[in-house]
């Protein structure tokens, strides 16, 4: 297996990991934001 192919493969692999981690973080962040919005809506309903 050529070294250049190995380097290219590992770069692609790291990019894949980084993008999946980023996607997971973005998903968690949007989920937390959604929960906050729902909690705000609930508290507004309670005040009324």
Q: Following CA atoms 19, 22, 27, 28 in sequence, which dihedral angle do they give, to the nearest 10 degrees?
A: 150
Q: What pLDDT score does 21 carry?
A: 92
Q: What pLDDT score does 26 carry?
A: 92
**Could you give the CA distance from residue 33 to residue 4 in angstroms, rounded to a whole number?**
43
Q: What pLDDT score does 48 carry?
A: 55
DSSP state letters, 7-20? HHHHHHHHHHHHHH
**Neighbouring C-beta atoms of residue 36, cutoff 10 Å:** 10
Query: Per residue in 13-45, pLDDT tens?
Result: 888 899 999 999 999 899 899 899 888 888 776
**Domain ranges across the chain:** 1-48
Residue 31: Cβ-neighbour burial (10 angstroms; 0-12, 13-18, 19+): exposed
47 band by pLDDT with thresholds 50, 70 and 90: low
Q: What pLDDT score does 2 carry?
A: 66
């Amino acid at each position: 297996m050529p070294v250049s192919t190995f380097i290219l493969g590992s770069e692609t692999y790291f990019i894949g990991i980084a993008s999946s981690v980023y996607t997971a973080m973005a998903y968690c962040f949007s989920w937390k934001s959604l929960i906050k919005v729902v909690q705000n809506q609930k508290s507004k309903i309670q005040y009324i």
